[in-house]
A = this chain, B = another copy of it.
Amino acid sequence: MTDMERFTRARRPVIGVMGANEPAPFTLEAARRLGQLLAEAGWVVLTGGRPAGVMEAASAGAKTVAGSLTIGVLPTGPDGPVSAHVDVAVFTGLGDARNAVNVLSSDVVVACGVEGPGTASEVALALKAGRPTVLLAPTPTAAEFFRALAGKTTLHEVATPEAVIALIEEQLGIPRWRAD
């Protein structure tokens, strides 16, 4: 299946936002803004679902937009904590093996900083699976490290949440979505 076939299906595009549990304040603000912009484009915002860090901020940003849809793919079963900004919780019970599920379920994987090992594993798994992958404001070392691993997968690097949206829409050709 080509990228074009994947994105011309009727299904609402899903953008995964990955990031640290305890990120820098700057990253947290970027995650909130990114979630809002993704939701304004009509795309589903998928995160790790826990009430912490980038996951929480991206979902919270998305839920400021009417008609937004947030999915949380959690490492725990249904007794684990879930962000209040998650509309649908997928309880995997898989621990960190769920990181592979997040990546496969996202039409585009956006790492909002690479400040923890969980996020690093998700970027690596995204490159392995050939998912379109975006690093938002990575450190030079992170960017250099993942560039060397990307192989045939295109790795994108951008500086702002606004640039993520432009990249997804214009370069990756994923259309905005309007619920009818």
B-contacting residues of A (Cβ < 8 Å)? 1, 6, 10-12, 14, 44, 69, 71, 73, 77-79, 82, 84, 86-101, 104-105, 107, 114-118, 120-121, 124-125, 127-129, 131, 139, 141-142, 144-146, 148-151
Contact = CB atoms under 8 A, between A and B. Distances in A.
Given A124-B124, A141-B148, A104 B91 contact: yes
A11 B78 contact: no
A101 B99 CA distance: 12
8 contacts: A90-B101, A93-B104, A94-B100, A95-B104, A99-B125, A120-B121, A120-B145, A144-B145
Nearest to A96: B100
Copies in the complex: 4
Given A120-B124, A149-B116, A95 B77 contact: yes
The main secondary structure of chain A at its interface with chain B is mixed
A40 to B, nearest CB: 18
Contact of A96 (B6, B10, B129, B146): B129
Contacts of A78: 1, 6, 104-105, 107, 131
Nearest to A139: B148
A84 B9 CA distance: 9
A97 B77 CA distance: 11
A172 to B, nearest CB: 14
Contact of A121 (B101, B121, B142): B121
A125 to B, nearest CB: 5
A83 B75 CA distance: 25
